[in-house]
Every structure is written in C-alpha cells, then in structure tokens.
Copies of this chain bind each other. A is one copy, B any other.
Amino acid sequence: MSFLSHLSSIISISKSLESELDIITKQVNFQKNQSVKEIGNRCNDLYFVEKGLLRGYYFDNGKEITNWFAQENEFATSLYSLVAMKPSPEAIEALEECTLIQLPYSSLQNLYIKFPETERLGRIIMEAYYIKLEERLLNIQFKTAKERYHNFILSKPTLLQRTSLGQIAGYLGITQETLSRIRAEV
C-alpha cells in the first residue's frame, strides 16, 4: 500500500488510475542476498521498495562496487538500461528480505499514454532523483573520504546498520581499508 500512498503524495491518483496501477504492478518478494537482476540482462522493470533494502552494484577491474542503495519508499532500477533499452552493466541484489512493487517498463510507457497525468509524476520523480545525484557528485568530487563518510552517517544513518563496510566504501568511492581507518580514527 505504501506505493500508492507515496505516489499520491506527488499527484492525486484517480480511482481509475489506481485500478490500472493495480493491474500493471506486481508485488514480488526477495530473500536476503537474493539476486533481483543480473549483470548483462536488460533491465525491463522499475521497482519500488515497499519493505527491505536493495543495492545496485557492478564490477570495476574485477572488484564489486556498490553504486546505490534503495530503501523503503524509494525507486530502484538501472535507469540507463531502462531508458536506453540496452543491457545493464549493473546488478541488483536484495540486502534484506524485500517486498517490491514491480512495474514493467512497457506498462509504464502505456501508462504514460493512457494516463497523461502520470507524465507529471515521472517528471517530478526524475527531478528529485537528479538533484540527489547532483549532490552526491559534488560530494564525491570535492570532499575528502572522511567528509564523505561523515556525510553518509548524517544523511543515511539507518544504512550504517543495514549494510557492510565494503558496500559503503564502494558507494563513497573509496576502498574498504581506507574506510576502516577512517572509522578507527575517532
């Protein structure tokens, strides 16, 4: 239910849109450590996290790098793969037992046409995600590893408990040894 209430905090959802959403979305469950999407496949779905925690990761020189986390009430997908319709270099994994709302991209396209008011929804969500990404870029580009870590603690305190050191390190763009040392420093 949190999917609908999240959407209706952005635009008002008519009854007919609500039932359409009900038809095209599917609730899916994943267990802890289960793979949601593997590398190389096209990502055809948009996910919304109702419960649990996802991470996106990929490989860089044989090393697994966590690229994002998506927790409750956040969307997750490989946007690049979705929009460009190309294979995704990115995998998605459940870090906890998850309840996700799955929305196939093709259904989303139809939804945009059938319910044009959802375009607004799409735009507003994209704007918000863009701003978040911009903040993250500035953070990585101009802050030291220590500053980034402290920023992470402030902005995503709950993730500290729910993820591993190596995952956070990748997300912050540093090695886990460096992160371990930053932690020890205090």
Contacts and interface: CB of A to CB of B under 8 A. Distances in A.
Given A133-B133, A140-B141, A142-B173, A79 B127 contact: yes
Q: Taking the full assembly, how many copies of this chain does it contain? A: 2
Interface residues of A, number: 30
Nearest to A142: B60
A134 B173 contact: no
Contacts of A135: 80
Contacts of A131: 79-80, 83-84
Interface string A110-148: 001000110110110011111101111110111000000
Contacts of A173: 140-142
A71 to B, nearest CB: 19
Nearest to A138: B67
Q: Please list the 6 inter-chain residue pairs (A to B) with the smallest Cβ-Cβ separation, ordered nearest first.
A: A119-B119, A126-B126, A123-B123, A141-B173, A122-B123, A119-B120
Interface of A: 60, 65, 67, 79-80, 83-84, 112, 116-117, 119-120, 122-123, 126-131, 133-138, 140-142, 173
